[in-house]
Structure 1
Amino acid sequence: MGDRSAAALYAVAWRALGAVPERTGRRVFDRIADHAWRSRTDGLRRLEANLRRVAGPGATQAQLRALSRAGMRSYLRYFHEMFRLAHTPREVILGRTDATGVDVLEDHIRAGRGVVAALPHMGNWDHAGAWIALRGIPLTTVAERLRPESVYERFTAFREGLGMEVLPLTGDGAGTAGRLARRLRAGRLVCLLADRDLTDHGVEVELFGEPARFPAGPAALALGTGAALMPVSLWYEGDRWCIRVHEEIPPPAAGDRAARVREMTQGLAAVFEGAIAEHPEDWHMLQRVFSADLGPGTATAAAGPSPAPGPAPAAPENR
């Protein structure tokens, strides 16, 4: 799909889906998901390769296929909800959300201590950001630049309209990292997706019994600023959105900086592993994350947006 076509599809979806009844839109996006599942797209095959690690060696091919179908439906549900979110009443966002552990996070922020909320690609991250902003906790996040520029600008404006401060992911990341550190030292909330490394400088962790590459940034920011590193998992239950803020991962007492960052990142991986195992269909990992699937020196992201399944528009990498 060309840049102009992708931009046009996004623009139409944002305009139209807010006016379409929710159940009607969900049925349409379920059909798109099923088409991609039957078509065996590249993203679907990567999803199944990742889910095979979650399901374990005892899972049959039929079980894996059923899980990947549910996964594609969950993934397209995110896009349907994302296109509708700006038109979703605040009482729906607040009233259909079940959250645990958020009181500890909010206590840190209100006491002036910054928090790094580290999330896997689960559930609906944009909804979670809108939800906590509506509770009076603004947040800062990072977005990778997308092609075309108009899509990146639209995503940025969309997220800023939900109450998020969006910083661009620059080439070396140094400028953005400095700004994030300043937000944390000021007692702000920083939310970062943390289960896929977008660089060649990630940390190798164990995930479902295999080496995988995670970004070092969340742990490094928490360690460098004194902020609390708190994993957050997201999933769906029927029509409801579920959020769990897990206990803080404290910095190790001993070791050099690199070793402490590795240990904290492994702590994230352990929490994510448990959350993904409980809700594998809501882990939207259509990219390579396990080291065995990566070539030497290969980052887990493509140069531009990863292709979404079937006829849906391109899916942003910063998802």
Structure 2
Amino acid sequence: MLNSVLIGIARHARFIPEPLLRGLFACTADVCWLLGIGGVRQLERNLRHVLGTNQTNGNLMSQRHVRRISRRGMRSYFSYFSEAMTVGARSEQQLHARVRGDGPGLQSLIAYVHDSTGSAPLALGHQGNWDYAGFWAHHDLAPVTAVAERLGDRKLLDAFVHIRELLGIRVVLTGQKGLTAQLKDSLGKPNVLVALLADRDLSRHGEFVEAFGSIIRVARGPAILALDTGLPLYVANVFREPLHGDRRRQAGSRYGYVCRIEGPVDIERYRSLPREQAIRAISQDWVDVWSAQIARHPEDWHMLQPIFLEDLDPSRLSDVPQDILARIKTAAV
């Protein structure tokens, strides 16, 4: 039912007033939050890890505060869908006004992929509006190739692919043979960004790293591409900000997004390590950078699936390092 609604919105976006759609999605977010459905409980379990890292007195984050952040998180999550499904009704002027770049790595990345002929992989997570960020990157940095999850609903998948193509993003799908080689080939060309949503990997072959006082499993793609190509690895966080004045009028929205760029991650110090150790170390480095910004903007992290070690099923895990196995056994005692 929900998938059909989303597809219908995408197909008829020009005929739906955006304020009305935002209001409907915000109401839906609040209903899900109140009833604890649609992944809300898992979101709150994840947020406890994130919010707990901000505590300086050793006390657990209050349930009231977690609930307050989770409500904002659900509204941010549903805002993403209302925006993504109506991309076809937005002008380029509106989209440009809704997203901007920032961060200590931005000028370095501009110099490398825009002012020169470099290409680079970019690690980011399910935060803010990553489609808007791809639009910004395509216009202000370099053409973007993004990897998208192959959804079971083909019509919904086609809708998301079409949305990203409207934004200028080239989409390749997971599950196809030779995907890593295809991405390496893209990076071998001048002026290309390969953007990877890498903050979770629910397959049997992700990389275990430390984050928020626990262990999460992330995609190996950013580390593998950086290690094998020798290209610099950058990290992006995307979060909402209020808009004012001319920018708000041009955007036609109260809120826009910041795409914060950091890096590049220094991978040269890991080249002497065995390959698997190097991939794990590089993954840990970019996650350290990324997670610091998640802690600052937890309400925009759309993580409604199990991701922390405590929530994963050990029987479904494979290629688990010995130190992680030891932590699993200790947690089970």
Shorter chain as denominator, the TM-score bin is 0.7 to 0.9
Number of matched residues?
Answer: 293
Q: 1:86 to 1:134 in 2, by over 3 A?
A: farther
Aligned to 2:84: 82
SS at match of 1:59: coil
Maintained 8 Å contact 1:126/1:159: yes
In 2, distance between residues paired with 1:256 and 1:93? 44
Q: Is the 8 A contact 1:37 1:72 kept in 2?
A: yes
Shift of 1:174: 4.5
Q: Which amino acid aligns with 2:84?
A: M
**Residue among 192, 199, 203 paired with 1:195:** 199
Check if 1:244 corresponds to 2:255. Answer: no
Are 1:156 and 2:174 counterparts? no
- The answer for unaligned runs of 5 or more in structure 1 is 300-319
Q: How far has the Cα of 1:259 moved from its partner?
A: 1.0
- Mapped to 1, the partners of 2:3 and 2:71 lie a distance apart of 27
Matching residue of 1:15: 11
Task: Tell me which moved more, 34-43 or 16-25.
Answer: 16-25
Identify the match of residue 32 of structure 1 among 28, 35, 38: 28
Work out whether 1:53 is the aligned partner of 2:71.
Answer: no
Match of 2:186 in 1: 183
Change (3 A) 1:42 1:21: closer
* Cα drift, residue 103 of structure 1: 3.1
Kindly indicate whether the alpha-carbon contact (under 8 Å) linking 1:123 and 1:284 is maintained by their aligned counterparts in 2: yes
Question: Shift of the alpha carbon at 1:176?
Answer: 1.1
How far apart, CA to CA, are the structure 2 residues paired with 1:6 and 1:181? Answer: 36
1:292 equivalent to 2:294? Answer: no
Aligned match for 2:294, one of 276, 279, 286: 276
Measured in 2, the distance between the counterparts of 1:132 and 1:213 equals 26
Tell me the residue number matched to 2:214: 210
Structure 1 residue aligned with 2:140, among 129, 135, 139? 135
Mapped contact 1:185–1:227 kept (Cα < 8 A)? no
Name the residue aligned to 1:263.
Answer: 281
Q: Which of the two has higher C-alpha Rg?
A: 2
In the alignment, the residues of structure 1 paired with residue 223 and residue 266 of structure 2 have an alpha-carbon distance, to the nearest angstrom, of 10
CA distance in 2, matches of 1:28, 1:62: 25
- Most deviating of 13-22 and 271-280: 13-22
Aligned-residue RMSD, C-alpha? 1.7
Partner Cα separation in structure 2 for residue 126 and residue 37 of structure 1? 24
Amino acid at match of 1:44: V
Question: What SS does the aligned partner of 2:265 have?
Answer: coil
Cα distance in 1 for partners of 2:136, 2:184 equals 23
Query: Counterpart of 2:39?
Result: 43
* Distance in structure 2 (CA, Å) of the matches to 1:60 and 1:157: 42
2:322 — aligned with what? none
In the alignment, structure 1 residue 225 sits paired with structure 2 residue 243: no
Q: Given the superposition, is the C-alpha separation of residues 109 and 87 from structure 1 closer, same or farther in structure 2, using an over 3 Å criterion?
A: same
SS of the equivalent of 1:247 reads strand
Q: Percent identity?
A: 35
- Counterpart residue number, 2:325: none
TM-score (normalizing by structure 1)? 0.87
Structure 2 distance, partners of 1:264, 1:220, is 9
| Stretch deviating more after TM superposition (254-263 or 27-36) | 254-263
Contact in 1 for aligned 2:112/2:119 (Cα 8 Å): yes
SS of residue paired to 2:196: strand
| AA of the residue aligned to 1:194 | A
Maintained 8 Å contact 1:113/1:228: no
TM-score by length of 2: 0.83
Distance across 2 between alignment mates of 1:210 and 1:76: 27
> C-alpha displacement at 1:26, in angstroms?
1.6
Change (3 A) 1:250 1:54: same
Measure the CA separation in 1 of the matches of 2:14 and 2:298: 29
Give the Å deviation of 1:86. 2.1
Q: Which amino acid aligns with 1:215?
A: A
- Structure 1 stretches of 4+ with a deviation exceeding 6 A read none
Which blocks of at least 5 consecutive residues in structure 2 are unaligned? 53-58, 243-254, 318-333
Give the secondary-structure state (helix, strand or coil) at the position aligned to 1:123: coil
